[in-house]
Structure 1
């Protein structure tokens, strides 16, 4: 019977991280003229970036495609095996083809490479062997050579696929900067989910969902309580006769008033309001409202449209939308 090997799990995990970290660090020496020319070429092409590979490299190719698409560089994934059985038809004359392979010698790659060359497309290799068939056939070579895999048998693609992924990220980030791709551009491609909402959801989009809680300086205590209660936000803005914002009254202000044993009969809104309330413009991003709430340790902000009081945004609005 085969004897069971005793494994120190923490040591194995740490060794894996060290090996992959070292592999990533060594990639800096491979950022050369081929890399620069590849970025410049992709930045100005009229077509797409078609990324292909086989096995684990194909999975990395899909991630690189997703990153490029989400950052303003149109890209397609083409599986190398499917490419030689018809999918090569997705490649148009204006496309750049990136082929990913550790060895650069896979049978599918050897069949695909001359077909791409015959189409007249520029071929970029992300490859772990610069003396391979793929590297020798490509117009540009992005070297992702690693000294060893993290796998104890030095077989399973681990370190090598990490290096491929990082090289792809380096390409994408360079293209972001070269093309001037902004956070606003990013938001256009990410309208769903928490990330998208942080990039496009405005304060006014949330404040308009509520009724406007508002009282005047001379409003009675009863009117203040009714307004706060009916609008169900735990707060009301206080305005003067011209509608200009003067202050804010919260549930907490009412409690503090009662603790002081004030004569409730003669209390007016102006007597218990807090002056200079924290405000935010309605066209600000909702995530900026969250930052202000955290900075001042409060749960709501008064929303302004230019110099006019326009509504309330509450912490619960941000929680509901997944901003937090």
Structure 2
């Protein structure tokens, strides 16, 4: 009788010791975590991914490394992560290009955002800034709309490329304002900025990282920004929404996703931990430096946001008859 009681007690103790370990196995990956970034090292997305990785590594008590797989505006990295098992060991810093625009722009995309990825957390949104050369006649958004209506198809807008987030911000604004302009796509922001400063291009929508130093130096003028509320990093630049186009938003955003089929408990744990990291003062400071805000919130919030972004951009691409650059 005593032996039976001892064995029963030992079994119960063993179960008590095993259950927490099993629970940890369900809500945490077994081994190091890799965060893949679809852009070169040193960019804003990679900087934030590394900062998140450092903080999450401490919370999770395991190595979290960042791997840059640049190419095709983030699509190459997304393809790589889509093929991985849903065990949480490989994550992706998803971007508006790979998970908002590409599904509507690339008819032969090798992955499905809905089926091949698990949303985890929105990390942040940054506005694009509508800028113009310092010598351009229209200095405000209403003046620019009036100018475009007076000279339909003649005011020159550049973009960082056909189908880029900057180009689509322009197309969304054209549709809302009822204007026609001459769009000139470039292969990246650097040559576009050269021609904007040289007067060959009059206006463009551009990312905050590129636009901010030019605004601060007085080389360009800022007419509007594209978040619904003014960015804390550009508090003096009015939004498109507040200048007569309510609800207008065309952000450059990024968020954490994993491959499809990740355990729900693991996803919720990662979401909570990313929320905790995003609230840390030094992380808030770094987010502010790149103009990123409005991150965090639940898994469902991020999933619904990505879906709405895909729908918005798919409609814009179809209506404007945009084709991907070859």
TM-score, normalised by the number of residues in structure 2: 0.28
TM-score, normalised by the number of residues in structure 1: 0.28
